[in-house]
């Protein structure tokens, strides 16, 4: 069965905008678009479709920006922030536990590695936090998506500062402290110890690799930029997982998604295998491509995963069985 023209645009507006905005802006807009398109044929109908889509995009951008300034429902901000911070702490604990012995033997201050752990735990914690908040029935769906969009934008800003300047500085301090512990001279800064501005200034297309297994500065630049903007596709992935109605399927997808994200971003920090798969820009953004493909696959799965509403039980009611009232 073919959907009515504009039905998908109306569904997008209902998912991201408040009900009063949908009633006042998008329902009249889409009604005019459907009425105008029904009376046209050929090239004129195509022009009407393009004009309707353009009007929808402009209206959505303006109204969504206005809805972002509206206060969120009471309790949503605190609950979502608490859930997110719990998973951030869990991710940092797991990273620290796996590398605790190495830092103890090096004799360096273990607090110097916390910014690097935080830069990886922040985007990874967004997946389970998004799923738990999006599946909570206490708040409207459009408000939850607004909160997740604002959180992802704030997280991108945080990661730009953290991975662009803070983490390289602490990495270099950790290397200097480790070298002093073993009586070695201070080591020069490597690719991961350069700030974002220094990396962008020295990452030329002809940047040669000094060692066979060492990625170039151009790859490091794109990989770091990809990690900074990873909250956007990660939040979209979490919303796609939350669309699954069946709890067992959602739990399985969440488990494999978290494992895949840990392997992807963890391998970029330990052994950058993707730097040898192609050009540095393509390899640096490879996790984003995988995330987008995974989101599309999960979205298609969630559309087929429809649970029909439970039909009322057939047969006589209790009032009918009890007979006429005397």
Nearest to 26 by CA among 62, 75, 78, 70: 62
Helix (H), strand (E), coil (C) string for 116-156: HHHHHHHHHHHHHHHHHHHCCCCCCHHHHHHHHHHHHHHHH
Residue 305 predicted with pLDDT over 80? no
Res 306: pLDDT: 45
Residue 61 predicted with pLDDT over 70? yes
**How buried is residue 157: exposed, middle or buried, by Cβ count under 10 Å (0-12/13-18/19+)?**
exposed
Nearest to 86 by CA among 116, 119, 136, 126: 126
Res 318: pLDDT: 43
Where is pLDDT greater, at 295 or 252? 295
Task: Give the three-state DSSP class for 230.
Answer: coil
Assign 158 a pLDDT band (cuts: 50, 70, 90).
very high
Q: Which of 61-75, 160-174, 190-204: highest mean pLDDT?
A: 160-174
Please spell the DSSP secondary structure of 265-301, one letter per residue.
Answer: HHHHHH--GGGGSS-HHHHHTHHHHHHHHHHHHHHHH
pLDDT in tens, 256-280: 677 666 666 665 555 555 555 556 6
What average pLDDT does this structure show over 51-60? 93
Give CA–CA dist 14/145, Å, rounded: 11
Give me the chain's average pLDDT, please.
80
Res 273: pLDDT: 54
Assign 301 a pLDDT band (cuts: 50, 70, 90).
confident
- CA–CA–CA angle 255, 258, 261 (5° rounding): 150
What average pLDDT does this structure show over 288-292? 83
pLDDT in tens, 96-119: 888 777 776 766 677 888 898 999
Give CA–CA dist 28/37, Å, rounded: 14
Q: Which of 93-97, 269-273, 297-301: highest mean pLDDT?
A: 93-97
CB 257, CB 237: distance < 8 Å: yes
Q: What percent of the chain stands above pLDDT 90?
A: 27
Torsions phi, psi for 195 (to 5 deg): -70, 170
Res 303: pLDDT: 65
Nearest to 174 by CA among 95, 107, 99: 107
User: Strands, E, within 103-252: which ranges?
Assistant: none
What average pLDDT does this structure show over 123-148? 89
Q: What is the pTM of this model?
A: 0.80
Res 101: pLDDT: 74
Cβ of 110: how many Cβ atoms within 10 Å? 13
Res 322: pLDDT: 45
Please spell the DSSP secondary structure of 2-55, one letter per residue.
Answer: PPPTTHHHHHHHHHHS-HHHIIIIIHHHHHHHHHHHHT--THHHHHHHHHHHHH
Res 311: pLDDT: 41
pLDDT in tens, 197-245: 998 888 766 554 444 455 678 888 888 898 899 999 989 988 888 887 7
């Amino acid at each position: 069965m073919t959907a009515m023209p504009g039905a998908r645009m109306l569904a997008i507006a209902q998912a991201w905008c408040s009900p009063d905005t949908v009633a006042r802006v998008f329902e009249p807009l889409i009604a005019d678009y459907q009425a105008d398109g029904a009376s046209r044929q050929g090239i004129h109908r195509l022009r009407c479709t393009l004009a309707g889509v353009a009007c929808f995009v402009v209206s959505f951008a303006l109204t969504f920006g206005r809805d972002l300034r509206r206060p969120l429902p009471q309790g949503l901000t605190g609950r979502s922030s608490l859930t997110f911070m719990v998973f951030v702490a869990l991710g940092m604990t797991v990273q620290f536990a796996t590398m605790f012995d190495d830092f103890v033997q090096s004799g360096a201050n273990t607090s110097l590695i916390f910014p690097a752990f935080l830069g990886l735990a922040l985007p990874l914690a967004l997946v389970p936090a998004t799923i738990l908040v999006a599946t909570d029935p206490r708040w409207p769906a459009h408000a939850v998506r607004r909160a997740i969009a604002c959180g992802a934008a704030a997280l991108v800003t945080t990661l730009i500062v953290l991975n662009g300047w803070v983490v390289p500085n602490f990495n270099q301090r950790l290397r200097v402290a480790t070298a002093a512990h073993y009586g070695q001279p201070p080591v020069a800064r490597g690719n991961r110890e350069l700030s974002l501005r220094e990396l962008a200034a020295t990452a030329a297309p002809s940047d040669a690799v000094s060692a066979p297994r060492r990625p170039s500065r151009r790859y490091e630049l794109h990989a770091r930029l990809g990690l900074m903007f990873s909250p956007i596709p990660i939040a979209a992935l979490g919303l796609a997982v939350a669309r699954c109605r069946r709890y067992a399927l959602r739990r399985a997808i969440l488990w494999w998604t978290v494992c895949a994200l840990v392997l992807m971003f963890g391998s970029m920090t330990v052994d950058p295998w993707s730097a040898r798969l192609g050009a540095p820009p393509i390899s640096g953004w490879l996790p984003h491509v995988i995330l987008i493909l995974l989101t599309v696959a999960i979205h298609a799965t969630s559309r087929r995963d429809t649970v029909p509403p439970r039909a009322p039980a057939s047969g006589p009611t209790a009032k009918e069985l009890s007979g006429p009232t005397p």
